[in-house]
Amino acid sequence: MLFAVEFVMKMNERQIAISLLEGLREDLAYAHLNNGSRVLDVADLRQYIYEKIGRIRTQAYVTDSLYGTRNGYGQDINKSNGNNGKAHP
């Protein structure tokens, strides 16, 4: 049973990695850095990835702020004590 769970987890991780790399490959066909230049070498690729990560983090921060998720994990810690779902006074 444990082997089956590990196998499924490895398959899920592998599928996530493949999806990530396929998306990156497609993005790189049209990729430009914030300064407008094309991604031409490894240093440019590293910069492009840093810029993408920054945009994702910014978007996540804005989304969390808009929807009231103050702890960063999709839960508003001011509304529930985590045990019975009832709001704190």
- pLDDT given for residue 3 in this prediction: 62
What's the total number of domains in the chain? 1
Q: Is residue 19 part of a domain?
A: no
Q: Is residue 42 part of a domain?
A: yes
Q: Is residue 57 part of a domain?
A: yes
Q: Is residue 34 part of a domain?
A: yes
Cα separations (Å) of 14 from 9, 11, 20, 27? Answer: 8, 5, 10, 20
Range of the domain at 49: 30-72
- pLDDT given for residue 28 in this prediction: 85
Instruction: Give the global pTM.
Output: 0.52
Distance (Å, whole) CA 28 – CA 20 = 12
Q: Is residue 50 part of a domain?
A: yes
Q: Is residue 56 part of a domain?
A: yes
Q: Is residue 6 part of a domain?
A: no
- pLDDT tens digits, the chain, 89 residues: what are they? 556 656 666 778 888 888 888 888 888 888 888 899 998 898 998 999 899 888 888 888 888 888 765 555 555 445 544 555 555 54
- pLDDT given for residue 60 in this prediction: 80
Cα separations (Å) of 55 from 1, 51, 58, 71? Answer: 41, 6, 5, 19
- Residue spans of alpha helices (H) in the chain: 2-28, 42-67
